[in-house]
């Protein structure tokens, strides 16, 4: 069974999908089961410092940047999107990015607790380790 906000990739055509409402069925694309994208964090991976989203408080809300060390934003290797989810998963905000663009999302909100995720076209899906409080 899928879970809300899980992401899956087709290893044939490259489609990436997100679960909006979970169901019992297997997700299939191009005749094959889709692969669930695992969420990485800094505790697991050596390249985490360039990928783990960093959440900062601002006067108007929050700022999410990708990595404590800036991630490349080149045509061949870049951050595809940054996403912010409320802890209860009732609020989702996603910003799609282009190469050469700064991997930052500014969000006006008074969210109590949020989790940030980002998708690198080479290194996959990354999540902030801890909820912002």
DSSP structure class, residue 27: P
User: In the block, which residue shows the tokens 């990595």?
Assistant: 67
Interacting residues with Fe ion between 106 and 125 (CB under 5 A): 120, 122-123
We find the least distance from the C-beta atom of residue 77 to Fe ion, in angstroms, to be 6
List the helix and strand counts (H, then E) for the chain: 0, 13
Site track for Fe ion across 20-39, x = CB under 5 A: --------------------
SS3 state of residue 34: coil
Residue 42 binds Fe ion (CB under 5 A): no
* DSSP reduced 3-state for 82: strand
Query: At its nearest, how many Å lie between Fe ion and the CB of residue 96?
Result: 16
Shortest distance (Å) from residue 44 CB to Fe ion: 15
């Amino acid at each position: 069974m899928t879970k809300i906000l899980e992401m899956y990739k087709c290893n044939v055509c490259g489609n990436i999908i997100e679960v909006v409402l979970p169901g019992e069925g297997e997700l299939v694309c191009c005749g094959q089961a889709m692969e669930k994208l695992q969420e990485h964090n800094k505790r697991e991976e050596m390249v985490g410092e360039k990928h783990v989203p960093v959440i900062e408080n601002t006067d108007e809300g929050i700022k999410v940047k990708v990595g404590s060390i800036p991630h490349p934003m080149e045509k061949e290797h870049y951050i595809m999107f940054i996403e912010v989810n409320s802890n209860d998963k009732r609020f989702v905000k996603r910003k799609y990015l282009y190469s050469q663009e700064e991997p930052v999302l500014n969000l006006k909100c008074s969210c109590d607790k949020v989790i940030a995720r980002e998708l690198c076209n080479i290194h996959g899906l990354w999540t902030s380790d801890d909820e912002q409080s």
